[in-house]
Amino acid sequence: MTPAPRHVACVMDGNGRWAESRSLPRTAGHRAAETTVIDVIEAARGAGVEWLSLYAFSTENWSRPSNEVDYLMRLVRSVVRKHAALLHARGIRCRFLGVADPRIPAPLARDFADLMTLTRTNRRMTLTVAFDHGGRGDIVEAARSLIRSGVSADAVDESHFAAHLPFPDTPDVDLVIRTSGEQRISNFMLWQVAYAEWTFPSVLWPDFRAPHFLECLHTYQQRKRRFGGVPPHANGESRT
């Protein structure tokens, strides 16, 4: 059996459809997602997951209606302020991946920075919230950083490149969970998910709970991760 994943990432999909199926405004789905976020954080911590990454807002999400974007900014600030003490008490180190667009309200950016400062020495689990994040953008910025640092083209390898990504100590993602049944990468942590396993539970994110999360971990553990290789018996070698 494959060991439990060290790094799990979640694409939190389905909030709008959850609301629309109940004849509610899309914002109601985002509000309902708060309970799921806390439940998944607690489930991951209890299961021994060391790194949990949540895709909260992409660089492409700025194209959504302005009233929805404004609501999301207010909601995220409320959630951060409401749960900061709990996250710190649980020994969770919090990080925010992205947060570069000037359209992010200054009070929200300060709350992000304050939470990172508050929890920076915690090591029970690292929670990375991808907010204003785009995987392609991270790769472009890493390339720019390499060029500025004066590294010669012949000296660039994967380890050099990865060292210039945001939070370079972040390990590769082992498992990505994308709720709602959609099967897309959506520009999420493109470098880090290169060899991740994926699961696509059909449940919408606001209905996703700890048992669903643990079921995804169990599914992951049933898989054989070969990283491009083949099992020994495929080459005519003994199975023992």
Kind of pairing between the strands at 7-11 and 175-178: parallel
Catalytic residue among 39, 61, 114, 122: 61
Active site residue 61: yes
Q: For residues 62 and 101, is the Cβ–Cβ distance under 8 A?
A: yes
Which residue, chain included where needed, has tokens 């994308």? Answer: 178
Q: Report the side by side order of strands in the sheet with 197-199.
A: 92-98, 125-133, 51-58, 7-11, 175-178, 197-199
Is residue 13 part of the annotated active site? The answer reads yes
Nearest to 186 by CA among 131, 135, 128: 135
Within 147-217, strands assigned E span 175-178, 197-199
* Per-residue CA distances from 90 to 42, 79, 172 (Å): 9, 16, 23
Task: Identify the burial level of 222 via C-beta atoms within 10 angstroms of its C-beta, where 0-12 means exposed, 13-18 middle and 19 or more buried.
Answer: exposed
- Enumerate the active-site residues: 13, 61
